[in-house]
Each structure stands twice: as structure tokens, then as C-alpha cells.
Amino acid sequence: MRRTGRRWPRVLGSLAGALLLGWAAGLAWFIHAATRPAATAVQADGIVALTGGADRVETALRLLAAGRARLLLVTGIGGGAELPELARLAGVDPEPLAARVTLDRLATSTRANAEATAAWATAHRLRSLIVVTAGYHMPRALTELQRALPGVRLTPAPVMPPAMQGPGGVRDVATLRLMTEEYVKFLAASLGLSGRGWPRAAGSAPG
């Protein structure tokens, strides 16, 4: 009995070490995936931009203007931003795009973004989507979208914030902290533990 009692701390220590090593390896994979350069944009039925960071909407509007898809959903935009202002920031003409862009102001979380996208894609019978969001947010966004839209082809078009454009995608401690937090959220989403979010407060962005 004494030998068994002495063995348990070593077993638990080994198990904790293996779990920590697995978690760290997963984080390394996540950072690599989040900082991978975007593939050349393909043709799709629609584009969805998940808001919450710089240049996401502008990138999606440029893809739409370039003819990469026929429809665009901007989900979780909030506030009073309208298409003419968004198009001006993207450097595109809003007039030809007006009837092809839907602005969703209700989604307040990535899961809610996915649910809004599923409703929109189903209503328009879309079978393929280009997904525009930040590189660090892309793994979680794809996880939620794949769950909400089984059978729909998703092509990532990640936007890389300046803080992620250094060697290895991590330039400072703040960026590493952001990556770690997003990795934890990605794990929660993978396990189906993400939340739907609550009604938006003025000016807030989805998480």
C-alpha cells in the first residue's frame, strides 16, 4: 500500500506534464495556423465578414467588388456604420454593391455570427462561402461556421493585423497573450462550450 501511495504523485505529475506539453503543442499549432498567409481568393457563392477588428469589412468589400462572389454578409457590425461609409474606407463604389450587401447588427459573439450566417446562407441557397476575419480569429470562426453550416464549403481569407506580421506572427507579449486567450476560446468552441452572446451595447464588437 505504501508503494502504491508513493507512486500516485509521480503518475499525477507525469499526467500533468503530458497535458501541459499537449496544450503547449496545441498553442504552437494554433499560432502557426493563425499566421499562415492567405491563399489566393477563389470564387464562391457568398462572402461573410465577421467584424471586430481592422480591415475585415474593407477586405470583404474589395473581394465582392472584384467579383469573387455575388453576395456579402457583414455580421455583428453594430453602431451606425452604413455601406457608403464602409465602401469609402475600402476604396470601392457602393452603388453597384448596395443590393448585394447585408449588414447584420444583432450578433454579439462568434457563435451568433455563425447562426446569422447560416440563416442568411440558407435563405439565399449558398453552397460556398469566403470567410473574412482576423487570422487569430479564423480557427474559431471556422469551427462555429462548420457546425452551423454542414455541407457548405468554407474558404478562409484571413486578415493579418500589424501586431501579427512579425517573425512567427508574435511580436510582443501582448500579442502572445491575445493568441493564448483566443486559443482557449477556440478549444471551448471545439467542445461546443461557446456562448451565443447578449444584445449589443452601442459601439461594442462581438467576441
pLDDT tens digits for range 151-190: 999 999 999 876 666 555 566 677 788 888 988 998 988 8
Name which residue leads in pLDDT, 1 or 98: 98
In a domain, 152, yes or no: yes
In the predicted model, is pLDDT for residue 115 greater than 70? Answer: yes
Q: Is residue 16 part of a domain?
A: no
Q: Count of domains in the chain?
A: 1
Task: Determine, yes or no, domain membership for 200.
Answer: no
Q: What is the pLDDT of residues 119-141, one digit of tens each?
A: 999 999 999 999 999 988 999 99
Is the pLDDT at 116 greater than 90? The verdict is: yes
pLDDT, tens digit, 9 for 90 and up, residues 45-54: 999 999 988 7
Taking alpha carbons only, the member of 135, 99, 129 closest to residue 114 is: 129
Does residue 3 form part of some domain? no
Q: Does residue 36 sit within a domain?
A: no
Instruction: Note whether residue 17 is domain-resident.
Output: no
- In a domain? residue 4: no
Q: Say if residue 59's pLDDT is above 50.
A: yes
Confidence of residue 6 (pLDDT cuts 50, 70, 90): low
Residue 203 lies in a domain: no
Give the three cell numbers for residue 174. Answer: 501582448
Which among 131, 145, 13, 150 is positioned nearest to 72, based on CA atoms? 131
The CATH number assigned to the domain holding 185 equals 3.40.50.620
pLDDT band, very low/low/confident/very high, at 31 (cuts 50, 70, 90): confident
Say yes or no to pLDDT of 207 above 60: no
Q: Which residues contact 64 (CB under 8 A, 6 or more apart)?
A: 47, 71, 72, 92, 97, 100, 101
77, 84, 86, 92, 105 from 95: Cα distances, Å: 20, 8, 12, 9, 21
pTM: 0.81
Predicted confidence (pLDDT) at residue 2 exceeds the cutoff of 60: no
What range does the domain containing 168 cover?
A: 46-190
What pLDDT is recorded for position 118?
A: 97
